[in-house]
Amino acid sequence: MFNRILVPLDQSSLAEQALGTAEAIAHASHGELSLVLAHRMAPYDGSLVGSWSDAKDPAESVYIRAIVDEVARGSGVTVGGTVATGMPAETICRRAREIGADLIVMTSHGRTGVSRAWLGSVADGVVRTASVPVLVLRATDDAPAMGRGHPIPLFRRILVPLDGSTTSSAILSSAAELAKCDNARLILLRVVAPVPLFVIDPQIPAYPTNIEDPDATKQVADATREELNEVASAMEHEYSLNVETLVVVSGRTAHAILASAERHAADLIAMTTHGRGVSRFVLGSVTDKVLRGGHLPMLLLHPTAHLAGRVGVRSAAAVTEPSPKTVADARSA
């Protein structure tokens, strides 16, 4: 479970929208909340003003104390807060390390609203460098600070896209722990690319076409489904959760993830920022497309932040990725 949850704030109601969800997770996990406000240092310009660049604004400390008191009164969760000096993303990640946080909960926008998105700046920087999972919530300009002092309902159906690699499966334990907070259902998703039909000519080497081989594709999908079911069974046993599996054939991975989330009424997508090396699930590629193309909250984990391989999900990579022999057998069948 999550023992210490960090919530970055910036004195905006948009950033405060993360509080209700963070409180609910802390309450369910019997964990603690820690709030942080990043005080930006003024750039040193060679004048005397530079010596005052790291001086905190007293209003920032007053703000943090007020939020801490309000949350503590309403939620019954242990809450602390601080103002830390530095660039926001670096400060948030440093603070997470200092307090031993195991989850960061933040909104995708802050300060002046949707016109100045955190996604692509602060939230993007935190996701890229944090050593713990980051729960990115979708803040909106017209929504109030949600649930401050009053935990709100958590997620009920969590979609977890995998690509067969150890790095993509690193998110499984964090997704399971979040699901346990409110007995949510996990949906494990594998997007299988269509197997191309090969043309064999005695005069030239075999080459793939743009035409799908339906029989070979079905065999690969069936093998993947069987293997993914093994992962689901292991997770059900380890975490006592309801886990279902979903295999979709598509050459457009991000589109298939978003369509599956909508079709199966998911209210959260959990995935790592990388998978299959740097060529797939890279932030800026599949994960980035899902982030920017969807409207759901996302639980994101940089793969170097966490070593996959817990009991029960030990073979997620091995059992979700069809081997070259499986594909070859499907083609020759």
For residues 239-251, average pLDDT: 96
Of 300, 261, 34, 310, whose CA–CA distance to 175 is shortest? 300
Among 131, 125, 182, smallest CA distance to 153 is for 182
Say which residue, 173 or 278, is predicted with more confidence: 173
The secondary element (H helix, E strand) that includes residue 318 is helix 316-320
Lowest model confidence (mean pLDDT) among 40-44, 175-179, 222-226: 40-44
Which residue in this structure is represented by tokens 């980051």?
A: 134
Could you say which of 103, 137, 171 is where a domain stops?
137
Verify that 22 and 96 share a domain, yes or no.
yes
Lowest mean pLDDT among 109-123, 282-296, 308-322: 308-322
- Does 199 reside within a domain? yes
Q: At 168, phi and psi to the nearest 5?
A: -70, -30
Is there a domain that residue 144 lies in? no
Instruction: Look at residue 49 and tell me whether its pLDDT is greater than 70.
Output: no
pLDDT of 41 reads 65
> Is the residue at 173 inside a domain?
yes
Give SS3 for 50.
Answer: helix
Do 189 and 313 sit in the same domain of this protein? yes
Q: What angle do CA 131, 123, 306 make, to 5 degrees?
A: 20
Mean pLDDT within 5-21:
92
* Residue 171 shares a structural domain with residue 300: yes
pLDDT of residue 206: 61
Per-residue pLDDT, 276 = 58
As a whole number of angstroms, the distance between CA 209 and CA 212 comes to 8
Q: Examine residue 150 and state whether it is found in any structural domain, yes or no.
A: no
User: Within this chain, do residues 171 and 47 fall inside the same structural domain, yes or no?
Assistant: no
Residues 250 and 125 in one domain: no
Asked if pLDDT for residue 237 goes beyond 90, the answer is yes
How many Cα atoms occupy the beta-carbon half-sphere of 147 within 13 Å?
17
In a domain, 143, yes or no: no
167-183 pLDDT, tens digit each: 889 999 999 999 999 99
pLDDT digits (tens, 9 = 90+) for 141-165: 655 554 555 557 899 999 999 988 8
- E runs forming strands in 89-231: 103-107, 109-110, 113-117, 134-137, 157-162, 185-192, 196-201, 204-212
Q: Is residue 285 part of a domain?
A: yes
Check whether residue 249 and residue 127 sit in a common domain: no
Q: Are residues 120 and 248 in the same domain?
A: no
Return the beta strands (E) in 274-318 as ranges. Answer: 298-301
Check whether residue 112 and residue 186 sit in a common domain. no
Give me the phi and psi of 176, to 5 degrees please: -65, -40
Check residue 325 and give its pLDDT.
47
In terms of domains, do 190 and 246 share one?
yes
Of 137, 172, 195, which residue sits at a domain end?
A: 137
Clarify whether residues 258 and 319 are in a common domain.
Answer: yes
Residues 6+ apart with CB under 8 A from 300: 127, 133, 134, 135, 136, 171, 270, 271, 272, 273, 287, 291
In this prediction, residue 244 carries a pLDDT of 97
Q: In what order do the strands lie in the sheet with 157-162?
A: 79-85, 32-39, 4-9, 103-107, 134-137, 298-301, 268-272, 157-162, 185-192, 242-249
State if pTM tops 0.95.
no
Is residue 277, in this structure, part of any structural domain at all? yes
Domain tally, the chain: 2
pLDDT tens column, 50-71: 444 445 678 899 999 999 999 9
| pLDDT exceeds 60 at position 209 | yes
Rounded to an integer, what distance in angstroms lies between the CA atom of residue 249 and that of residue 330?
15
**Same-domain check for residues 105 and 163:** no
| 318/68: higher pLDDT | 68
Residue span of the structural domain in which 37 resides? 4-137
Q: What is the CATH number of the domain that holds 203?
A: 3.40.50.620
DSSP 195: P
- 152 within domain boundaries: no
Share of the chain above pLDDT 70, in %: 73
| 178 and 327 together in one domain | yes
